[in-house]
């Protein structure tokens, strides 16, 4: 169950990166959120 929660959290963080890129003018949060999201996803495996 912990792995499923981490997968959901990583996916939400990665999708939040796209939203942050749209909102922020310079897109600086995009790469940070994407990297954190992928890190959480890989922690689930």
**Would you list the DSSP string of 15-43?**
HHHHHHHHHSSS-HHHHHHHHHHHHHHHH
- The confidence score (pLDDT) of residue 25 equals 67
Note down the domain range covering 6: 2-43
- What parts of the chain have a pLDDT lower than 70? 25, 27
Name the 3-class secondary structure at 6. Answer: helix
- The confidence score (pLDDT) of residue 5 equals 94
Residue 38, CA distances (Å) to 25, 41 in order? 23, 5
Domains identified in the chain, total number: 1
- The confidence score (pLDDT) of residue 19 equals 84
């Amino acid at each position: 169950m912990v792995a499923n929660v981490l997968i959901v959290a990583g996916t939400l963080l990665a999708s939040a990166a796209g939203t942050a890129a749209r909102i922020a003018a310079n897109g600086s949060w995009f790469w940070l959120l994407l990297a954190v999201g992928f890190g959480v996803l890989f922690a689930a495996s």
